[in-house]
């Protein structure tokens, strides 16, 4: 069997109803962090990570606590393009029990 490390083959496959579960998070006024973490703990591709991150951001924007996830705010800046990986960070953090909020510096900022 050939596998790639970035596919995280030791995790279970994403559920068949992944998109429906993300929609449920979007529509729930106070979603459970436990449900988000369980969904994040699957083999998710970049598109799925980005979709789950959108749901997490929406819930955070509504003021949802996402208990029992631990809140953490991360600032990201760099000398190169960071917008390619930032959309996947919140979903990846949820896999490890963290409710991550990311602030990203605009391109070309010097301070």
pLDDT at 80 over 90: no
pLDDT digits (tens, 9 = 90+) for 4-46: 666 777 888 899 999 999 999 999 998 999 999 999 999 999 8
CA distance 60 to 25: 11
pTM metric for this prediction: 0.84
Average pLDDT, the chain: 88
Structural domains in the chain (count): 1
Is 20 inside a domain boundary?
yes
Which pLDDT value is given to residue 12?
82
Determine the structural domain holding residue 89 and report its residue range.
14-104
C-alpha to C-alpha distance for 102 and 104, rounded to whole angstroms = 6
Residue 111 pLDDT > 70: no
């Amino acid at each position: 069997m050939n596998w790639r490390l970035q596919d995280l083959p030791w995790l279970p496959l994403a559920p068949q109803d992944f998109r429906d579960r993300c929609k449920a998070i979007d529509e729930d006024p106070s979603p459970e962090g436990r449900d988000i973490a369980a969904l994040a703990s699957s083999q998710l591709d970049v598109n799925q990570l980005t979709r789950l991150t959108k749901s997490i951001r929406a819930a955070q924007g509504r003021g949802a606590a996402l208990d029992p996830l631990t809140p953490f705010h991360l600032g990201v800046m760099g000398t190169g393009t960071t917008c390619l990986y930032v959309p996947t960070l919140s979903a990846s953090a949820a896999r490890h029990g963290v409710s991550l909020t990311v602030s990203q510096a605009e391109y070309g900022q010097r301070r």
